[in-house]
Amino acid sequence: MHRDIDHIIYITGNESLIDDIKYLWHKLNKHHIDKSLYFKEHFLQLNLESRIKKLLENTNDLFVIIAKDSSTAENVGYCISSQIDNNIGEIDSIYVLPEY
């Protein structure tokens, strides 16, 4: 199913937006569990809170972007970046619902 991207809005912020993407992060982690041949146990033991804590140990700030379908008010994707300096960063986690 293909969705109309004209209805997508983007919300940007910091780690205060993490609660808004928990559902999507769990879908990403499940994908890794289902597909992983060698790291399944690693993904089974991951949780979002410890992952964010670890990211924050290495940076002062996280940059979070949430893609929201304004026609359904559903969060449909996200990106978490760290080590942001002069608009340069590293993507740490990214996920988009398959139908989008």
What is the pLDDT, as a whole number, of residue 4?
A: 62
Residue 76 binned pLDDT confidence (cut-offs 50, 70, 90): very high
Per-residue pLDDT tens over the stretch 8-20: 999 999 889 999 9
- Residue 89: C-alpha distances to residues 11, 12, 61, 65, 92 (Å): 18, 15, 10, 13, 9
Q: Rounded distance, CA 89 to CA 8, Å?
A: 23
pLDDT digits (tens, 9 = 90+) for 20-56: 999 999 999 898 888 888 877 877 787 778 878 877 7
CATH architecture of 5-96: 3-Layer(aba) Sandwich (3.40)
**What pLDDT score was predicted for residue 68?**
96
